[in-house]
Structure 1
């Protein structure tokens, strides 16, 4: 009967079923991806002509792009390169044209994001520098260059600036001996300054000697096209708006797509007096065993790689480690702290990312012994009204060693807002819900915390407090996190060029919760719920181990 069920189910339910199966664990996900890879290898997509792709009554670029995305999403990143190249080559061949913000321009901006993600998948696959790969990357670089020439000659917008930076980056990384001429369009200075009327209302704290606002811009949504994709120009405009609002600190990582390259290019185009005050916080994330000796040169090279992509100094480098039983992370962190002293032009401060309380303290003790100081200034962890695990152990470690928490998930993927008040629980695998990967993740967190009915009770309380202070429920949720002494800043996910909530987020700085507000919230979120969540998930970051 399974065959009957599969053959008769509507496509939307089939997709929902697949999402549910894949969510069951890595073994199921591996079977799914391997099956897709095998089918695509046995029957690779065809290459339509330029005319078929873009011209005529029924251009087929949407279907062609869908199959190409299937390739790099199923760990066939290198195999997808000829298809991406073919689409780029077809643009001047077909002489297709577009207007500003018309459907085709938006599609091509999405293609740029596809190239970024395919190349990022190449980087993360620890690829070997073969002649085949070199040829494919050269082809792609040439197609991007020729497409820019065509766009210039036809007075069209060029949608692929991000892709050119990303492709140059992987080529220079993989074939440094033959790399020449990094892509660098003539920069124009962004004449933007933080607005004094806005800045005077912000709150600040210190990371080492760096003064930073208590809201960080988070670029994790650049790690996947699931949150949407925007052109380089739209992203730059979004970043200038954040700077204008005084939100000058931005958090990213080595695996967030091209986030470091985008921010590095933006920072280069700022006026010098503005550029010297923005704060670039990125990460060095180690997800697999390191197969080379841990030396000063190895650690310095990792720092220099971040600096190269950011086109300048890293104000905060945060370190994530895959397995606490492999103790090399202690030596790496000691070297990183030493490099902040010997190479302050490269990196100023060191932090942790998703370390639990026990191993944060272990790091602090080790660094005190090896370097004479704690050395780390922060730890990035999940912290919200739903996830209060940092209050159990982490807060006391932070106070003992002078560490500040940079918190993510404090909006619970947008669930802690009035847009979810009074709504039924979402079907997280349904296409009609249009949930982001973050929302699927935080919906699971909510169900670990309590029932959807109990969550609605929390939203009602948030709404009541928000109405009392004439702000939004999200502002109340963030204010509650910021009011804890161990918290330095909340990281707010920023969909650059897709959406912008920075103006409303600033309301948090005009909000003061009173004792009645705090009692109402803590009666709901602390006590047995906090205890049960800690026992179920473990300490901070354990869900990533």
Structure 2
């Protein structure tokens, strides 16, 4: 009898996992459809309506069955399909259904005395942000709606009350909106959303004030409420339309503060960050923007060349990503041979393949191992993890407001490890040992990488 029960439990677990993967695949497929910006054709309308109907049919069958013990598996996919239908066929989308009143979650945010925050506009943001870019691909795994919510609860209760996402991170905005809008008002007001408007190709519509407002409203709609920080990413500096767009965005923060509160940049280099700030000062009398999100780590220290001084001059804060190199800056890789980045057995994530290339641009795999060994030794002295040391180094750099930590919602959790980052400070001897290996003698590695790749974000631009 025990064997039968064990087999049933294993079968149920395997089935849940399979359905969870399908749910994630629906999310990604619909996201891919949305990014093609399809025309609202009758055939597409029919196909989406049929998919919505099939998901609804499955939901009704599920609710009549063992719904208490078996979570409805397609909640994320259903939400994503409904959202894309609303975006493509706004005139056909039904009005929001009068859902049953949900019990609001009352959470206690228990921050420790050494928990670190910083001012960004009118808000206090934690110095570690929950990065939701893993929701942009199922390569990082797919968490169920329930498990994602459980992890968000744990993060917020521990003080990690802000998340970074973007318009192209799968269903990240919808996941965060669903969670945030179930919180009691007193807690909800403390849970902050930083998202992005990323322009990767020439806009198809004239760049009018109304166009900009519509784009902001789209982020507001997806988040189900105010955007505390909207970060703007632009594809080509030779097209100067970004200046007027940013001017309009800054104006919107004054006109509609409950729609969008503050504006930041994303992947802007130093020269064009200065250009933006000077343009806004000339037009409005103030800098207007509050931040720039850039790649910054012990491996990619290019911001130290120019960006940190630009930010200091204009009062901007850096929000950093890639600071742990997709998990390569961790004890897991200490003493390991250089990976075959396309190995089917190793199965590196897209981020790890990207940052492996960055390591090879910075130095050799042996150089990287030497850095890991030194970080490990310093970690032992502080009784923390190697990752804590790599994170702490970033937080102690000039102009850095926060580091964005990838959060694999519903798949894994590193809350306690992240909290340990705030419990110590690297001293001058620690910094000298780290920087001798990471930055090189007289910051030679930093300068060479800057010369090879260009300033922050250059690798993402479609420049001729």
Structure 2 distance, partners of 1:503, 1:469, is 16
SS at match of 2:198: strand
**Partner of 1:212 in structure 2?**
125
Residue 449 of structure 2: aligned partner: 533
The answer on 1:320 being equivalent to 2:233 is yes
Q: How does the TM-score come out when normalised to structure 2?
A: 0.94
Shift in alpha-carbon separation, 1:145–1:192, aligned structure 2, 3 A:
same
State the partner residue of 1:303. 216
Instruction: Name the SS of the counterpart of 2:125 in structure 1.
Output: strand
Name the CA distance, whole Å, in 2 between partners of 1:185 and 1:442: 44
- 1:452 and 2:365 equivalent? yes
Higher helix share: 1
- Per the alignment, residue 131 of structure 1 pairs with 42
| Structure 1 equivalent of residue 74 of structure 2 | 160
Q: Partner residue of 1:396?
A: 309
CA contact (8 A) 2:264 2:290 kept: yes
Mapping for residues 119-198 of structure 1, pairs under 5 Å: 119-156=30-67, 157-182=71-96, 186=100, 187-195=102-110, 198=111
Partner Cα separation in structure 2 for residue 353 and residue 235 of structure 1: 26
Question: Greater relative contact order: 1 or 2 (C-alpha under 8 angstroms, separation 6 or more)?
Answer: 2
TM-score, structure 1 as length reference: 0.80
Q: 1:469 to 1:101 in 2, by over 3 A?
A: farther
Shift of 1:181: 4.3
SS of equivalent residue, structure 1 residue 102:
helix
Q: Which residue of 1 aligns with 2:397?
A: 484
Structure 1: gaps spanning 5 or more residues = 1-96
The residue aligned with 1:113 is 24
- Paired residues for 1:46-445 under 5 Å: 102-156=13-67, 157-182=71-96, 186=100, 187-195=102-110, 198-445=111-358
Query: What do the CA deviations read for 1:319-370 (whole angstroms, capped 9, x no partner)?
Result: 0000000110000000000000000010000000000000001000011111
**Distance in structure 2 (CA, Å) of the matches to 1:367 and 1:179:** 39
Alpha-carbon shift at residue 200 of structure 1 (Å): 2.4
Contact 1:374-1:401 at 8 Å conserved across structures: yes
| Deviation string, structure 1 residues 222-258 (Cα, Å, up to 9, x no partner) | 0000000011111000100100110001000000000
- Contact in 2 for aligned 1:249/1:278 (Cα 8 Å): yes
2: distance between equivalents of 1:500 and 1:327?
42
Q: CA deviation at 1:433?
A: 1.0
Over aligned residues, Cα RMSD in angstroms? 1.4
Hey, what's the Cα distance between the residues in 2 that align with 1:476 and 1:309? 36
Where 1:179 maps in the other structure, the secondary structure is: coil
Count the aligned residue pairs. 447
In the aligned structure 2, how far is the partner of 1:184 from the partner of 1:362? 48
1:288-314 CA deviation, whole Å, 9 max, x = no partner?
101222111110110000000000000
Tell me, which stretches of 5 or more residues in structure 2 are unaligned?
A: 1-7
Deviation (angstroms), 1:418: 1.0
The answer to whether the 8 A contact 1:357-1:540 is kept is yes
What secondary structure, in the 3-state scheme, does the structure 2 residue paired with 1:432 have?
Answer: coil
Q: Which moved more, 1:167-176 or 1:386-395?
A: 167-176
- Distance in structure 2 (CA, Å) of the matches to 1:291 and 1:544: 20
Larger radius of gyration: 1
Q: CA deviation at 1:189?
A: 2.2
- Counterpart-to-counterpart distance in 2, 1:466 and 1:185: 50
The aligned runs of 1:490-501 (5 Å cut-off) are 490-501=403-414
Dislocated runs of 4+, deviation >3 Å? 97-101, 181-188
